[in-house]
Amino acid sequence: MKIAIVTGGSNGIGKATALGLGKLGISVILTYNSYKDRAEAVVKEIEKNSGVRALALKLDLTQLSSFEGFVLEVKKNLKEVWNRTTFDYLVNNGGIGGPMMFSEMSEEYFDKILNTNYKGPIFLTQQLVGFMEDAGAIVNTTSSSKNQSFPGYSVYGSLKAAFSTWTRYIAKELAPRQIRVNAVSPGPTHSNFGDGVFDKHPEFIKPLAEQSVFGRIGQPEDIAKVIVNLLSDDFSWVTAQDIEVSGGHLL
């Protein structure tokens, strides 16, 4: 029985990834920060439709001091639920978005993006990889904005670029254990990004869809399929890559 940890698994891309893994018979520990009810609903859906066990654990990526307790909780559940001391896959998907122009940027905003999208995932991975199975796999969610220059996303895009670069470095360091590390870069995706910006402002969808060669923005499942496949043995000869999954956005 394979086990995956998916951060930010209560909605959007993380939810779609957790459900996709469940369909393949992979058990899931998913994390949430604010939406416990949504996370528990994902757990129920996985267990009902896939017949594998799933759990939801609270995790705030900005609070590094809480990681030790989170790791102890993961280890406890691995033993009690699956009679294991290790897990197989990690999806670093948890993160936040939302624009802020450079001229208006606050230190609070900068630190929140930094800690949630970059510092938090790095130090969480450091703690988790110690009991990941050799020949496991990690997928990091970055963003196509690292290669673009939309106003208001200077911090978000540059930190996603840093996360992409870190992916290559950690792939090198974990190679002796045969652990593969890759990333996916979603383009505009109809998820909960920016606190559900597309649901609040559906008028944003059309101009972004027109920038894609396929005439639409992405759905969480579009991204999740790539993540799930990158974790699989079908991609056992692929590491240190960042794959853009944007439907040809701005091609």
Confidence band for 148, pLDDT divided at 50, 70 and 90 = confident
Q: Does residue 156 carry a catalytic annotation?
A: yes
The more confident residue out of 147 and 247 is 247
pLDDT in tens, 154-183: 999 999 999 999 999 999 999 999 999 999
Residue 215 has a pLDDT of 87
pLDDT digits over 188-247, tens only?
A: 887 766 556 666 666 767 887 888 889 898 899 999 999 999 999 999 999 999 999 999
Domains and CATH numbers, the chain: 3-245 (3.40.50.720)
pLDDT confidence of residue 198: 63
Tens of pLDDT, residue by residue over 51-109, are: 999 999 999 999 999 999 999 999 999 999 999 999 999 999 999 988 899 999 999 99
Task: Output the pLDDT for position 99.
Answer: 86
Q: Which residue among the candidates 89, 118, 153, 156 is catalytic per the annotation?
A: 156
User: What are 9-58's pLDDT values in tens digits?
Assistant: 999 999 999 999 999 999 999 999 999 999 999 999 999 999 999 999 99
Inter-axis angle of helices 154-174 and 107-114, nearest 10: 30
Given this model, what pLDDT does residue 147 score? 74
| pLDDT for the residue 199 | 60
Give the predicted TM-score (pTM) of the model.
0.94
